[in-house]
Structure 1
């Protein structure tokens, strides 16, 4: 759509900040007030509006889109969101290992075992590891521990965690980022050990490389959202 505003400003509101376009507060697609919990996040969202040219491109405003998702979706469906994220723990990438080739299996163990040890020691979640892709049920007490951690998060952090877990295929990696045990780039690299191995053996595909870059960018924005609400 065409740019319909000139000035982008902020205004304090009860419980946070509003982004104003020509003095009018921005609303979400659900017609809710876009009330952002911290100045840092409000400034980041305002910057996305400010840099738009003659055309407003929604896909170039990832923090705004995430914020809309939080307000219209996560905040009003919190329990369902926690359950959806927990599924990434039920089928966590880190728990499914290659048997062969041995080099790949060793890389997985080197990268993933420390993360599972952290989840066991710090989160109280002892997850089982299996070889191959056949599903293995995780202990109910481990999943309960992961759920308990997530239930302590606000809606904004849950939204960021959902993005990270979706991209990496791992709730453990997502929680490691949220809890400060891993950086976003490190978690992303760990989630792509298999892909990195295949690239070494067979070379890079331009289309796959672009998909990976897009995923890395989306993950960076999720990490930025989590940091901005703290």
Structure 2
């Protein structure tokens, strides 16, 4: 599964065109954008080879003989060898110009290492939990009938899975205020998120922000959904309108592929940060 996720990482970052339901999260999204942490957009390539090595605090990325550093000047060190290999692959895939906006894993690692907004684990948990009150799949329409049926058929099974998986009540609503999520449900999700380390929580928040849905993010991380399924479910209203009215030539596919790339990167990041496995260095030479 991780290999198939990584194949989606070559696309550029997504700029979402949000509908009414996503619009309710717009202020939160703007807040999240201010937290984004990335190098300049492009730079001329200055290295020939990429390798990884084990340092005191984890695995490091080497560009020729120079160690990769974060924007704040720290040695770029990641907790698992599989993650180091994935990041090294991002750098090795660059051609004459380094396009930083294609390097989602590198950006997520920089955020974890530099922690520019000085957030602790509790801050990260609450950032993802905020989306539960405005979760995309909890908001339903009363018309048109076709969209009502689509939401019921596609979103209800995911809600049912989440309620059974976590033994909680979530529900849905046609009110613009959305469903009232029980405090007990929030506590259960809080405890579940607390079981992840801080690096994984950064990845989870990244996925939740892309999909505007904690439920879809959990379904994706738990492998109940694929990246493609989660993305399409998060865009259900947009896809319905596109099927009905058509779309701007290239724009729809562009947005869809970019959202898949970001979501895949976040999912890969979570799994690799949750893994304690190592890979023999000789595999890098195969």
Q: TM-score, normalised by structure 2?
A: 0.74
Which secondary structure state, in structure 1, belongs to the residue aligned with residue 44 of structure 2?
coil
Q: Does 1:200 align with 2:259?
A: no
Which secondary structure state, in structure 2, belongs to the residue aligned with residue 29 of structure 1?
coil
**Contact 1:92–1:169 (8 Å) recurs in 2:** yes
- Could you tell me how far 1:76 is from its partner in structure 2? 4.7
Q: Does 1:30 align with 2:63?
A: no
Which secondary structure state, in structure 2, belongs to the residue aligned with residue 20 of structure 1?
strand
Q: Distance in 1 between matches of 2:176 and 2:48?
A: 54
Q: Does 1:212 align with 2:247?
A: no
Runs of 4 or more, structure 1, over 4 Å off, are none
Unaligned runs of 5+ in 1: none
Partner of 1:224: 268
- Could you tell me how far 1:15 is from its partner in structure 2? 4.8
Which secondary structure state, in structure 2, belongs to the residue aligned with residue 131 of structure 1?
coil
Partner of 1:125: 168
The range that moved more, 2-11 or 161-170, is 2-11
Q: Distance in 2 between matches of 1:150 and 1:97?
A: 26
Q: Distance in 2 between matches of 1:51 and 1:95?
A: 39
Which secondary structure state, in structure 1, belongs to the residue aligned with residue 71 of structure 2?
coil
| Aligned counterpart for 1:60 among listed residues 88, 96, 102 | 102
For 1:32-57, what per-residue CA distance to the aligned partner results, in whole angstroms no more than 9, with x for missing partners? Answer: 33211222211111122223233322
1:1-230 superposed matches below 5 A: 1-73=43-115, 76-206=119-249, 207-229=251-273, 230=275
- Could you tell me how far 1:75 is from its partner in structure 2? 8.3
CA RMSD in angstroms comes to 1.9
For 1:119-178, what per-residue CA distance to the aligned partner results, in whole angstroms no more than 9, with x for missing partners? Answer: 212113311311142344311111111111111112232222212211211100101111
Q: Distance in 1 between matches of 2:256 and 2:143?
A: 24
**Contact 2:203–2:270 (8 Å) recurs in 1:** yes
- Could you tell me how far 1:191 is from its partner in structure 2? 1.2
How many residues align? The count is: 230
Q: Distance in 2 between matches of 1:67 and 1:50?
A: 17
Q: Distance in 1 between matches of 2:233 and 2:258?
A: 17
**Contact 1:90–1:143 (8 Å) recurs in 2:** no
The range that moved more, 189-198 or 10-19, is 10-19
Q: Distance in 1 between matches of 2:253 and 2:44?
A: 32
**Contact 1:96–1:133 (8 Å) recurs in 2:** yes
